[in-house]
Each structure stands twice: as C-alpha cells, then as structure tokens.
Amino acid sequence: MNLKVRLENIELQNPIITASGTFGYGKEFEELVDLNSLGGICIKGTTLKERDGNPMPRIFETRAGMLNAIGFQNVGVDRFIAEKYPYLKKLKTKTFVNMTANTIEEFGELAKKLDKLDGIAGIEINISCPNIKAGGINMGTDPGMAAAVVKKVKENTSHHVMVKLTPNVTDITKIAKAVEEAGANSISLINTLVGMAVDIELKKPKIANVIAGLSGPAIKPVALRLTWEVAKTVNIPIVAMGGIENYKDVLEFLIVGATAVQVGTANLYNPGVTMEILRDLKKYMIENNIEDINELRGTFKVK
C-alpha cells in the first residue's frame, strides 16, 4: 500500500498535513500525536517581527465551526529560527513554515531568512493580508499583487513555495493561475471565509476585532468547490483544506483533484484526529483494493 504523495520536488509519506494556526509549532501536540507519522506539519503564521496579536476575545465557536481573529500572534522569524526550528529539524515529518507580511518587501526579507534553513521542506505564503503600501488592498484578492509576492519570495529562496489562497474573491482561478505563472510550486486552499457574530444582549460583536475568519465543517462545501475549480485550472499540486474531520472528507478532496490535505480546526477539539484519519484511510484502501492513494486523485465524474 502506497500513501506517499509528491508536491513537485517534495515527497510526503502520506497526504495528511496539519494546518497552520491549529497545531502550534508541533511540539505542543507531541504527547497526543505521533508527529513522525504525519505527512507534514505547517507551523503557525510567522512574521518578520514578533506579534502579540489582536485583543480578546478573538475566538468564538459557531454551530458548525469557529470564528477566529488571532492576529498572527507569533514569536517572529528570528525567535522561530533560534527557539522552535531546532525541534522541528529533528522530526522525520516534513515541516512547512507559514509566513505572512504587510508589504511585498517584507515577504522577500522573510524568505531570505528562511532560505538558510535546510531542515524545512517548504514555505507556505499567506497572501490574505493587506498591503499597507498599496492602500490596504488585500494581496490575495489581486492577481497582479499575488503574483508579485510569489516572484519576490522566489527571488529570495530555493525552498518549495506553496501559496495559500483566500476564498473571499469573485474568481479564485484567476489568482491561482497568476501565482502558478509567477513560479509557485504548489497551491493550498482555502483560507478562512470572513464572518462575524453578535451579542444580542450587549448589541456588540462577540469578537473584539468585529470580523473574523470562519473555519471548520461549515466551510467544507465551499472548499470542495474551489478545490475542484482550481484543479481544473492549474498544473501544480494542490493542498486542500476546509472542514476536514475524517477520512471521508479527505477522500472527497483527493477525488476532486487535491494531492494532499491540511487538517485544521478539528485539531482543536479532537487532538488525535490526524491519527484517526490515517488509520481509517489505510483501512479504506485495504477494503477497496486500492494500492496507491494517488489513484484517487482527480477521479471526479460530473456525468
């Protein structure tokens, strides 16, 4: 039985990656998850400087998911390299560093610092952030700006570059094509949808930031559709995410064209979910006489 998948030059031992922002730096889960059994770990969003994040409250549970407005709280790239990276480097599983910035130049600086790390498999660029030098335009919603970010990162690193796309656009395929042409090695999608919640007694927002990112099971149908649309548009590998809770969810994303998946919000309420998914995925393959997980990719039939 083969569970290995390839993201261009990177071979993962299986298609299960933990999503950024839901798994810390990996070490936080070491007593709950066999980290070396994972296909990959995508660490929380890293910025040039340390960030405290947004004011509280910044998380709110919805009926089928979660709203969060953490604000990229993290130790900053220099402390990440000094304090977190040594542990990750020892792991067998592949590590991806999610990074974000507010200018194209900052993305380049981050990439240059991360380029020195031979123990990471790749960089995931979170382009769902405002460009403060361009009037606050969200870089992930503009094809030209998204492409410019990718080009700047590629100029400053030899690492695999994965670009995380926002679903909050009119046509995601235009962004996907733009980053592919700019040199992206793979695409991950989707980032969170934008939502909010209201306290009817206080008539105030339940999140201090007012608006927040919606993740969890509620967004899976949207994520599936967008994964399918992007898979028909680009030729580079796709890492899909959005509401994955079990092996059946994984299968759906593989069938519509994803090479691998990221498991996110489910880690927060079921820390062992990735181990359950791997166990059940293997069982499914045995029961259905599937020798190679890659046989499932792109087998979706409309008619």
CA 260 to chain centre: 11
> Sign of the C-alpha dihedral, residues 122, 143, 52, 35?
negative
Catalytic residue among 129, 224, 240, 263: 129
In whole angstroms, how far apart are CA 143 and each of 61, 109, 136, 146? Answer: 32, 21, 15, 5
**Residue 60: partners with Cβ closer than 8 Å, 6 or more residues away:** 66, 67, 68, 197, 206, 207, 212
**If phi over 0 gives left and psi between -120 and 50 gives alpha, with beta otherwise, what is residue 223?**
alpha
42 assigned to active site: no
For residues 262 and 93, what is the distance between their CA atoms, to the nearest angstrom? Answer: 14
Question: What are the residue numbers of the active site?
Answer: 129
